[in-house]
Amino acid sequence: MRGLLLPLLLVLLAGCGVADPLAPAPAPSPSSAAVPLPGARSGPLPGAETPTTAAPAGPAPVVVLDPGHNGGNAAAADEIGREVPDGRGGTKPCNTTGTETADGYAEHAFAFDVAARVTRLLTARGVEVRSTRDDDDGVGPCVDRRAAVANDARAALSVSIHADSGPSGGRGFHVALSDPPLSASQRAPSAALADALVAGLEAQGFTPSTYRGEDGLDPRPDLAGLNHARVPAALVECANMADPGEARVVEDPAGRQRYAEAIAAGVLRTLGR
């Protein structure tokens, strides 16, 4: 009998404690799903400047920055001259070359540099920033396409950055918004954004335009990018590049940093961050 019992006992034991390869794997517990992936970062990058205020928790809002014009526009007259829908039933040229200071410092370069500075400031505060153009030597995009970038991203808001070619002796910034409004986002939300941008610019020592708009605000129907916007949107004309005093500020990196700080402050105020 003993010779028969031992093999039987070994067969029974073999069924204990051995995983069945066909059985379903245990579901991950909620706590294990929240463990960050290897290499994931929750804080600033090593060596990055420590923000003075910590970025609020929660999903990053998306902000679209739209630096006006582009460095290749002047050499692409046909392409930027073609008509696109203006958002009010008419048409407008796809894009324009923009203006420049008497020294030849171009508006497209100013807008691109300020947008890069705003991007750094907002990113440090936990905002996801997207741009309507990635370089300063391309063509366009057309104004309707610029608006579509923000609309398609369902952005929290969009800010177009420009500098003006105003009358001799005229000075100061103005913030344009679509008027009469064509959507709910063009009403109170865009007005709140424009007000916050005015406040940010004034806090940096800039003064409202002496030649356009009222108290720094310029509601207008003819800016296609704003007409097409379906997210809160405003366009900042930072300065009159034709004014020698303002041209000096625009041409100075420290001046451009002040414009960037002003715009970033307006954006953060609007986002409640």
Size of site (CB under 5 A) for Zn ion: 3
Could you tell me if 216 and 209 are in contact, meaning their C-beta atoms sit under 8 angstroms apart? yes
**Per residue, what are the HEC states of 156-224?**
CEEEEEEEECCCCCCCCEEEEEECCCCCHHHCHHHHHHHHHHHHHHHHCCCCECCCCCECCEEEECCCH
Collapsed DSSP state (helix, strand, coil) of residue 99:
coil
Q: Residues 56-75 vs Zn ion: string with x where CB under 5 A?
A: ------------x-------
How far is CA 14 from each of CA 1, 4, 41, rounded to the nearest angstrom? Answer: 21, 17, 46
Q: Which stretch binds Zn ion (CB under 5 A): 46-54, 121-129, 155-163, 255-263?
A: 155-163
Could you tell me if 94 and 81 are in contact, meaning their C-beta atoms sit under 8 angstroms apart? yes
Estimate to the nearest angstrom the gap between the alpha carbon of 58 and the chain centroid: 18
Q: How far is the CB of 161 from Zn ion (least distance, A)?
A: 9
Q: Which is nearer to Zn ion, 61 or 141 (CB)?
A: 141
Q: Which is nearer to Zn ion, 61 or 98 (CB)?
A: 98
Q: Does 162 bind Zn ion (CB under 5 A)?
A: yes
Phi, then psi, of 191 in degrees rounded to 5 = -65, -40
Q: Which stretch binds Zn ion (CB under 5 A): 32-40, 160-168, 188-196, 216-224?
A: 160-168
Q: Which stretch binds Zn ion (CB under 5 A): 113-121, 139-147, 157-165, 167-175?
A: 157-165
Catalytic residue of the set 79, 128, 202, 237: 237
Q: Does 146 bind Zn ion (CB under 5 A)?
A: no
Is 237 a known active-site residue?
A: yes
**Phi-psi region for residue 55, left (φ > 0), alpha (ψ -120 to 50) or beta?**
beta
Q: Which residues contact 87 (CB under 8 A, 6 or more apart)?
A: 144, 147, 178, 182, 224, 226, 227, 228
Q: Does 98 bind Zn ion (CB under 5 A)?
A: yes
Q: Which is nearer to Zn ion, 66 or 179 (CB)?
A: 66
Q: How far is the CB of 225 from Zn ion (least distance, A)?
A: 10
Q: What is the DSSP letter of 100?
A: B
Q: Does 140 bind Zn ion (CB under 5 A)?
A: no
Q: Which stretch binds Zn ion (CB under 5 A): 46-54, 93-101, 124-132, 247-255?
A: 93-101
Q: How far is the CB of 247 from Zn ion (least distance, A)?
A: 15
| Residues of the shown chain interacting with Zn ion in the complex, contacts defined by CB under 5 A | 68, 98, 162
Catalytically active residues, by annotation: 237
